[in-house]
Amino acid sequence: MPMIMSTTDNEYTTLLGYYGTTAVDSEESYKNMVALQFGDDTVTLLTSWYPAADYPTYNDAWLALLGDYGYVCPTRRALTSGSANQAQSVWRAHFTHGFTHGPLAIYGAGHGMDVYFTFGHLSYSGALPTEAELSLSREMMGYWTRFAATGDPNDPLGDALPWAAYNANDDNYLQLDTPITSAHGVHTAKCDLWDSY
């Protein structure tokens, strides 16, 4: 079957709560959370892959690690397998837009934030969407509607940005943001590390 597989850029901000009870706020708590989730023997390795110094906070490093482990990198593996082993095309999308205003803005491009746009329910976010956000929602609905109707998200009239089927060698995807763009490689270096783990 043709497939679209998509992820968001900040998967775990909504799944754990950006300021939730498990927030990681120190090097010790970061290492403790890695040990709890992955085992004591992984702490040095995994925190070297996601050094806290590369992120605004320890919590951001922890959420990035979880997002790649749980969503971004497994999605890449599934897309690679699908594109190699079936006749029907697969497409990759990565949602990177965070709400500009409102109570959900703190979560960035968290898990499920793309759903508001895919179904055109931006008012449910509790914010007044910008014109750019309304346009992003309309474009996303167009891709998904065409895919549901024909098995191909592309616009035969050529009004939408072309969305190339996934090619593992290019690791290509449609970046869902304002504006939508074509891009290559979602967290590629990190996913290569997880694939070698």
Q: What is the number of alpha carbons within 13 Å of residue 184 lying toward its C-beta? A: 5
158 against 176, higher pLDDT:
176
Tell me: the pLDDT tens digits for 38-93? 999 999 999 999 999 999 999 999 999 999 999 999 999 999 999 999 999 999 99
pLDDT number for residue 18: 56
The answer on pLDDT for 21 being more than 70 is no
188-196 and 73-85 are packed helices; what angle lies between their axes, rounded to 10 degrees?
Answer: 80
pLDDT recorded at residue 128: 87
With a cut of 90, say whether residue 30 has pLDDT above it. Answer: yes
> In DSSP terms, which residues pair with 110 in a beta bridge?
10
Q: State the DSSP code for 110.
A: B
> What is residue 127's predicted lDDT score, i.e. its pLDDT?
81
